[in-house]
Amino acid sequence: MWFKNLQIYRITNWNVSPAELETALSKHTLHNCLSMEMQSRGWISPKAEDEPLVHILGQQMLIALGVEKKLLPVSVINQFAKLRAAEIEEQQGYKPGRKQMKEIKEHVTDELLPRAFALRRKTCAWIDPVGGWFVIDTSNAAKADELIELLHKSIEGCSLALVKTGKSPTSVMTEWLAGDDVPASFTIDRDCELCGMGDEKATVRYVRHALDSAEIIRHVKEGKKATRLAMTWRDKISFTLNENLQLKRIVPLDFIKDQIATSEADDAFDTDFAIMTGELPHLLADLMDALGGEYALN
* Tens digit of each residue's pLDDT (9 = 90 or more) over 61-87: 999 999 999 888 899 888 988 998 998
Q: What is the reported pTM?
A: 0.86
Q: Are residues 41 and 176 in the same domain?
A: no
**d(Cα 143, Cα 124) in Å, to the nearest integer?**
10
Domain shared by 219 and 156, yes or no: no
Q: Are residues 213 and 95 in the same domain?
A: no
Total domains, the chain: 3
- Same domain, yes or no: 84 and 68: no
Higher pLDDT, 258 or 214: 214
Is residue 279 within 8 Å of 131, Cβ to Cβ? Answer: no
Q: What is the spatial distance between Cα 257 and Cα 259, in angstroms, rounded to a whole number?
A: 5
Q: Which range, 82-96, 111-125, 165-179, has the best average confidence (pLDDT)? A: 165-179
Note down the domain range covering 56: 7-72+116-162
Q: Is there a single domain that holds both residue 80 and residue 219?
A: no
Whether 82 and 97 map to the same domain: the answer is yes
Average pLDDT, integer, range 252-272? 77
| Residue 68 covered by a domain | yes
Q: What is the mean pLDDT of residues 125-153?
A: 96
Q: Are residues 153 and 265 in the same domain?
A: no
Query: Residues 129-147: what's their mean pLDDT?
Result: 96
**More confidently predicted of 222 and 282:** 282
- 9: pLDDT strictly greater than 60: yes
Q: Looking at residues 268-274, what average pLDDT do you find?
A: 90
CA distance 189 to 231: 5
Q: Are 147 and 15 in the same domain?
A: yes
CA distance 187 to 183: 8
- Whether 26 and 48 map to the same domain: the answer is yes
Q: From residue 58, give the alpha-carbon distance in Å to each of 13, 21, 230, 254, 270.
A: 20, 15, 32, 25, 11
Q: Residue 264: inside a domain, yes or no?
A: yes
Is the pLDDT confidence value at 239 over 80?
yes
pLDDT of residue 260: 67
Are residue 222 and residue 91 in the same domain, yes or no?
no
Q: Is residue 28 located within the same domain as residue 155?
A: yes
